[in-house]
C-alpha cells in the first residue's frame, strides 16, 4: 500500500527560507547587542571626566590673614623735677676733684712694687764636675803635655829588669786655680810603675782651669801614662 504525501505537508520546500530567516534574525540580535554595549561605555567615560572637572572647579583656597598689630606701649610717666634751694651760709663739705691723669698717677704710685732681685746661687766651690762647658787644659795643649811626661818620666829599674810595661790610668782634680790635687790610680800595672806615674803628674805645672757658665770650677780629669821598653 503506497503512502500518499500531501503537497502542503512537504517541509522540504520551506527549508531554505526558514534557514535564511533564522540567520537574519540572529545577525540582527547580535548587531543590536554590540550597539548597546558601546553606548554604555561612552556614557560611563563621559561621566568620569565630568566628575574630575567638577572636583577641580569646586576646590577653594583660603588666604591667611595677617595678625593684628601689637598694642601701643603705655605712655611714659613724667617725673617732676624737685629743686632744693640751699642757703648761701650753709656749711658744705669741700670735695677735691682729681682729674683722670692724677688718679692714674696715684694708682701707679700705690700699686707699684719694685721687682724682687733674684740672687744667683753661687756654685759650691767644693763641687767637683765630671763634664763642663770648657774642659781644663795643660799649658800649651795636648802636645806640650805629652812632651812634658816623656821628659819627666823615669822608668823604674825593677820594672825594666822584669820586663814590665803597660799603661797606667790615673785620675786627678784640677782646682779653680789650676793646681793638681787628689791624684789616684784607676787602673795600674805594677806598683813601681803606678808610683812613677803619680809622681810625674804631681810635678806638672798649673793647668788652665775648667769653666762652667763662664766661671772657673773644680774638674776631675783622667790621664793615661804609657810605659814602653826600648
Report pLDDT for 115: 63
User: What pLDDT, in 10s, does the model give residues 104-163?
Assistant: 565 454 555 566 655 555 555 678 998 999 999 999 999 999 999 999 999 999 998 999
Are 182 and 131 in contact by the 8 Å Cβ rule? The answer is no
Which segments of the chain are extended strands (E)?
A: 128-129, 166-174, 180-187, 210-212, 215-227
**pLDDT tens digits for range 3-34:** 555 555 555 666 777 788 888 888 888 877 77
Q: For residues 207 and 14, what is the distance between their CA atoms, to the nearest angstrom? A: 166
Would you tell me how many other CB atoms lie within 10 Å of the CB of residue 134? 15
What are 169-218's pLDDT values in tens digits?
999 999 999 999 999 999 999 999 999 999 999 999 999 999 999 999 99
Q: Residue 64: pLDDT above 60? A: yes
CA torsion through residues 93, 99, 103, 108, sign: negative
Could you tell me the three cell numbers for 72? 601701643
pLDDT of 82 > 50? The answer is yes
Confidence tier at 55 by pLDDT (50, 70, 90): very low
Amino acid at each position: 500500500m503506497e503512502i500518499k504525501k500531501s503537497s502542503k505537508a512537504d517541509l522540504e520546500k520551506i527549508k531554505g527560507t526558514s534557514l535564511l530567516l533564522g540567520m537574519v534574525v540572529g545577525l540582527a540580535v547580535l548587531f543590536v547587542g554590540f550597539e548597546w554595549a558601546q553606548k554604555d561605555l561612552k556614557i560611563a567615560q563621559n561621566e568620569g571626566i565630568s566628575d574630575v572637572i567638577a572636583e577641580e572647579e569646586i576646590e577653594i583656597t583660603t588666604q591667611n590673614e595677617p595678625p593684628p598689630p601689637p598694642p601701643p606701649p603705655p605712655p611714659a610717666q613724667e617725673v617732676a623735677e624737685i629743686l632744693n634751694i640751699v642757703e648761701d651760709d650753709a656749711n658744705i663739705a669741700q670735695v677735691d676733684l682729681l682729674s683722670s691723669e692724677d688718679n692714674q698717677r696715684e694708682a701707679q704710685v700705690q700699686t707699684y712694687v719694685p721687682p724682687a732681685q733674684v740672687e744667683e746661687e753661687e756654685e759650691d766651690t767644693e763641687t767637683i764636675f765630671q763634664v763642663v762647658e770648657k774642659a781644663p787644659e795643660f799649658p800649651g795643649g795636648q802636645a806640650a803635655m805629652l812632651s812634658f811626661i816623656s821628659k819627666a818620666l823615669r822608668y823604674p829599674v825593677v820594672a825594666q829588669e822584669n820586663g814590665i810595661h803597660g799603661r797606667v790610668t790615673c785620675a786627678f782634680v784640677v782646682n779653680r786655680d789650676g793646681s793638681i790635687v787628689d791624684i789616684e790610680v784607676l787602673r795600674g800595672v805594677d806598683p813601681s810603675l803606678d808610683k812613677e806615674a803619680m809622681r810625674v803628674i804631681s810635678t806638672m805645672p798649673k793647668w788652665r782651669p775648667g769653666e762652667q757658665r763662664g766661671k772657673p770650677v773644680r774638674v776631675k780629669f783622667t790621664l793615661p801614662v804609657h810605659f814602653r821598653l826600648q
